[in-house]
Amino acid sequence: MTEIEISKIIVGLLVLLGAFLSAVSAFGIIRLPDVYTRNHAASKSATLGVISVMLAAFIYFYAEHGHFNSRVILGILFVFFTAPVSGHLISRAAYNSGVKLWDKSVRDDLKNKKK
Q: Which of 10, 26, 63, 101 binds other proteins (CB under 8 A)?
A: 26
What is the Cα–Cα distance from 87 to 40, expressed in whole angstroms? 8
Tell how far CA 29 is from the center of its chain.
12
**Does residue 48 bind other proteins (CB under 8 A)?**
no
**Does residue 75 bind other proteins (CB under 8 A)?**
yes
CB 28 within 8 A of CB 38: yes
Rg of the chain's alpha carbons, rounded to an integer?
Answer: 19
Closest CB to other proteins among 43 and 106? 43
CA dihedral sign, ordered 53, 55, 59, 65: positive
**Does residue 35 bind other proteins (CB under 8 A)?**
yes
Stated as kind and residue range, the H or E segment containing 3 is helix 3-31
Q: Which of 1, 2, 3, 65 binds other proteins (CB under 8 A)?
A: 65
Contact set with other proteins (CB under 8 A)? 8, 11-12, 15-16, 18-20, 22-23, 25-27, 29-30, 35, 38-39, 42-43, 46-47, 49-50, 53-54, 56-57, 60-61, 64-65, 67, 69, 71-72, 74-75, 78-79, 82-83, 85-87, 89-94, 96-97, 99
